[in-house]
Structure 1
């Protein structure tokens, strides 16, 4: 896959990630929705940090603004949640600024440009821009999958865009029957 195709996949995933926040109240985008604290706004902050790191620091182009949650003495999960002082607008703006920083790296360097990932094992620290593109596309889509599940649990919204839910056709009656079938299959399989 070419760097331009990977870049397009990254752009699509970024936009989908921000769509997951649309229409969700302030409390629901911040509150922990899993036992490990996963939350929608925290996923966006984490992805901003990933883009600043992989497309910035790795290629000698560090973030243009301070990211205190990446300091050595910071809690390892500080990039996975937003403080009360970090507004939705600030976090989404940070993500968009990370995109611009990353896009400049992608546009200005060749796919075979070499960088170094200091937090990876020594035998894997040297990477190409192409490899980092693959890594960040995978990482972004992984977290987008988390956001899909969280958002569906909050209000039933599914899909990658408001106009594309990527679901099999069916009304509420269909989905209720479908869930009943799955529940019955799970019970039968676990019974013996």
Structure 2
């Protein structure tokens, strides 16, 4: 059964469909790590890292939003919020449920953006960031999608460690 915090596997065929289904699987693994948590638990640090489960969900939602804008607009402009360091923490008044809804919305936007692109070979200039090389770098929509999948998988691993440290649960053994 799919809840409002989970995404349906996209119905696209071919390469787009395969990539979006792989992406949906990584999101689902991440979502396992936040099942049954309170807002306080989602905001709790459990390691020396500043990362929290709520912060990871918030960061990934922000990442999907900004990368969808980059793919869609293709203008090389820095999307709002891309460099906001607050994206890594739950702010006062934020709830895990609210962050999960934002994440589900961002996932749908990513899937709609990828479906609307003429093809995955479309290249766009990346926005200038403090870590950018001096020359303009171009990525294909495919590369951006692969980057998002890798980023989600990496943070799902972080989330698994944070959850296991929090209460012993993880993606293979929920309490």
TM-score range, shorter chain: 0.7 to 0.9
- Displacement, 1:3? 3.2
Map 1:1-192; keep pairs closer than 5 Å.
Answer: 2-60=15-73, 70=81, 76-109=84-117, 110-118=119-127, 119=129, 120-123=132-135, 125-159=137-171, 165=172
- Displacement, 1:116? 2.3
- Larger CA Rg, structure 1 vs 2: 1
TM-score (norm 1): 0.71
RMSD: 2.5
- Displacement, 1:26? 2.0
Cα deviation digits, residues 71-108 of structure 1 (max 9, x gap): 76xxx531001112112121111111111111111111
| Distance in structure 2 (CA, Å) of the matches to 1:30 and 1:61 | 34
| Distance in structure 1 (CA, Å) of the matches to 2:134 and 2:141 | 18
- Displacement, 1:122? 4.8
TM-score (norm 2): 0.77
| Distance in structure 1 (CA, Å) of the matches to 2:110 and 2:74 | 9
The answer (yes or no) to whether the contact 1:54–1:117 under 8 Å persists in 2 is no
Q: Which has the higher helix share?
A: 1
| Distance in structure 2 (CA, Å) of the matches to 1:56 and 1:19 | 27
